[in-house]
Amino acid sequence: MSNTPRKQSAVTRLARDPVSRRRFFALTGGTTAAGALLVACGDDEEETATGTTSSSSTTDEEMTSQFGEGDLGIVNYALTLEYLEAAFYAEVVKSGLFKGDDLALIKQIGAAEQEHVDALTATAKQLGGPPAEAPMAKFPLDDAQSVLELAATVENLGAAAYLGAAAMIEDPEILAAALSIHSVEGRHAAVLNVLTGQEPTPDGAFAMGADMQTVLDEVQPFLA
Question: Which residues, at least 6 apart from 57, have a Cβ–Cβ distance to it below 8 Å?
Answer: 211
Q: Which pLDDT belongs to residue 8?
A: 59
First to last CA, the chain: 42
State the Cα–Cα distance between residues 198 and 204, nearest whole angstrom: 12
Residue 1: count of CB within 10 angstroms of its CB: 7
CB distance 124 to 79 below 8 Å? yes
Give the C-alpha separation, 81 to 94, whole Å. 20
pLDDT digits (tens, 9 = 90+) for 27-77: 445 555 555 554 445 444 444 333 333 444 446 667 777 898 899 999 999
The answer to whether 180 touches 30, Cβ cutoff 8 Å, is no
Q: Tell me the sheet residues that pair with 51.
A: 48
The CA distance from 164 to 178, in Å, is 11
- 137: which strand partners? 223
Q: Which residues pair with residue 53 across a beta bridge?
A: 46
Confidence class of residue 12 from pLDDT cuts 50, 70 and 90? low
| Cα 3 to Cα 52, 53, 62, 224, distances in angstroms | 9, 11, 21, 45
| CA 88-93-94 angle, 5° bins | 100
Q: For 221, how many CA atoms within 13 A lie in the half-sphere containing its CB?
A: 6
- Res 204: pLDDT: 92
Compute how many other C-beta atoms are within 10 angstroms of the C-beta atom of residue 64: 21
**CATH class for domain 58-222?**
mainly alpha
CB 93 within 8 A of CB 83: no
CB 157 within 8 A of CB 215: yes
Smallest CA-to-CA distance from 135 within 221, 53, 72 is with: 221
Whole-model pTM over 0.85: no
Residues 150-201 pLDDT 10s: 999 999 999 999 999 998 999 999 999 999 999 999 999 999 999 999 999 9
Residue 2 has pLDDT above 80, yes or no: no
